[in-house]
Structure 1
Amino acid sequence: MTVAVCPGSYDPVTLGHLDVVRRGAALFDEVVLAVATNATKRPLLPLDERVSLARAAVAGIPGARVDVVPGLLVDFCRDVGATVLLKGLRNGADYDAELPMALMNRHLSGVETVFLPADRSVAHIASSLVKDVARHGGAIDDLVPPGVADAVRARLAARP
C-alpha cells in the first residue's frame, strides 16, 4: 500500500489543494492531507479550525484523510508509513521553493517527492491570495470548499 502525504498549512484549504488531493488519490492508495504549522507564518485560522475545514473538504474523496503534523515532516511520514510526499505546483516559483525541501526530505529520510502540475482551472488560487481578497471584501466562495469562505470572513471580522 502506497501512502502519500500532501503537507501544507492549509490556511485556508482551497480548491487547488483539493485538486491535488483528488488527483493524488487516483495515483496512490491513500493520501494524507497533513496540516502543519509553519513557524515563518502567522496563520489566520487556528490549527483546530484548519483541520476541521480540511476534514470536511476531503470527506467525499475516497482514500483521503486529514491529520496533523506534530513536528518534523519526515518523522510524520515515517509514523504514517508514507513513502511519498505529494506537492502541487502552480508555476516555476513554486518549483524553485519546493525543490530544496524535496531534496532535504529525501536526504533526511529517503522519502521521495512527487510534483503534480496544477490544473489550469485552479492554478491561480493560493491561500495567501484568498485571504487578501477576503480582507478587502472580495468574494472567495468560488476559490474554496463549502464553509471555508464563511470561516475566513468570520475570523477576519473578529480581528481588530
Structure 2
Amino acid sequence: MRIGLYPGTFDPITLGHIDIIRRAATLVDKLVIGVAINRDKGPLFSLEERVAMIEEECVSLAKQTGIEIVVHPFENLLIDCANDVGAQIIVRGLRAVADFEYEYQMVGMNRQLNDTIETIFLMAEAQHQAIASKLVKEIARLNGDISKFVTPSVDVQVRAKFAG
C-alpha cells in the first residue's frame, strides 16, 4: 500500500490545498493530511478547528477518489511524522520559484534523515497559484471577498474569526 503524507499548517485550508489533495489522491492508496501544530506561526484557527475543517473538506474528496484520506496532527519533524504514519511519499505543493528554493533545502535535509522516503512536488493549478493562507486571512481581516480562494464553509469560518 502506497501511503502519502501531505503536510501543512492549513490555517485555513484553501482551494489550492484542496487541489493538491485531490491530485495527490490519484498517486497513492492512502493519503494522510499532516496538520502541523507549529505554535511559532500563531495560527488564526486552533489545531482542533483546522483538523475539523480539513476533515469536512476531505469527505467528498475521499468519495470521489475512492481512497482513504486521514487527518493527522503532528508537532515533530516532518520525516518522523512520515515514519509514524508509514508514508513512503511526502507530497508538497508548489506555487512559485520561491517555494521551490525552500522545498529543495527541505528535501535535502529529509533525505539525509531518511533516504527511503521520496518527496514529490505538485504544481498548483494556474488559478490557484496565487492563493496563500496568509493572504486569505489578510483579505478577510480587511473585509475583502475570499470566496474565490476557499470553500463556502471555510469562508464562513474565516469571517466569523474576524467578526468578533
TM range (shorter): over 0.9
Shift of 1:146: 3.0
Alignment of 1:69-80 (within 5 A): 69-80=74-85
Alignment of 1:83-98 (within 5 A): 83-98=88-103
- Please give the TM-score of this superposition, normalised by the length of structure 1: 0.93
Compute the RMSD of aligned alpha carbons. Answer: 1.2
Structure 1 unaligned spans of 5+: none
Of 76-85 and 62-71, deviating more is: 62-71
- Tell me, yes or no, if the aligned pair for 2:89 and 2:119 is still in contact at 8 Å: yes
Distance in 1 of aligned mates of 2:109 and 2:72: 22
Distance in 1 of aligned mates of 2:39 and 2:105: 17
Deviation by residue 1:130-152 (Cα, 9 ceiling, x = unmatched): 00110110011221123111111
Alignment of 1:1-160 (within 5 A): 1-62=1-62, 63=67, 64-110=69-115, 111-158=117-164
Q: Give the helix-richer structure, 1 or 2.
A: 2
Deviation by residue 1:72-100 (Cα, 9 ceiling, x = unmatched): 22122111110111011011001011111
Matched residues, number: 158
- Tell me, yes or no, if the aligned pair for 1:13 and 1:148 is still in contact at 8 Å: yes
- Please give the TM-score of this superposition, normalised by the length of structure 2: 0.91
Distance in 2 of aligned mates of 1:90 and 1:140: 18
Shift of 1:39: 4.2
Distance in 2 of aligned mates of 1:132 and 1:91: 20
- Tell me, yes or no, if the aligned pair for 1:5 and 1:85 is still in contact at 8 Å: yes
Shift of 1:38: 2.3
Of 5-14 and 38-47, deviating more is: 38-47
Which amino acid in 2 is paired with 1:123? Q
Shift of 1:40: 3.4
